[in-house]
Amino acid sequence: MKHQKTKRKLDRKSGPRRALLKNLLTSLILYEKVTTTEAKAKEIRPLLERLITRARKDTLANRRLVRNKLTTEKAMKKMFEVIVPRYQSRQGGYLRIIKIKNRRGDNAQLSLIEFV
């Protein structure tokens, strides 16, 4: 039964899905906006919001936890030096998802996810 199961599988096994989400998180931090499918955007929003909330308190443990979720040191550095100071006084809701259009090949709903 699927009671209380909220995560999307994105038609992938757990390893490739984890890698996809890590790469999307890293790209979103580095470029500050990413165009992707609506399901992927909805899946990475809570992950990144939790990361930003954790990174607001700059401790060694939090740095290690954030680094574990990203793929590059450059993304972690940008997270702590650029993104977190921007949202230091904000209580949450760091990202916005904007529906764009349907993709031409398979008619998938595309969305733009960006920082507020």
Distance from the Cα of residue 51 to its chain's centroid: 8
Q: How far apart are alpha carbons 31 and 98 in whole angstroms?
A: 16
Q: Residue 36's beta-bridge partner residues? A: 111
Domains of the chain: 15-115 (3.90.1030.10)
What does the pLDDT read at residue 22? 97
Q: Could you tell me the two tokens for 44?
A: 């990475």
Please report the pLDDT score of residue 2 as a whole number: 84
Per-residue model confidence (pLDDT) at position 94: 96
pLDDT digits (tens, 9 = 90+) for 66-94: 999 999 999 999 999 999 999 999 999 99
How far is it, in rounded angstroms, from Cα 96 to Cα 94?
A: 7
Mean pLDDT in residue range 100-113: 95
pLDDT of the residue at 5: 85
Mean pLDDT of 11-36: 96
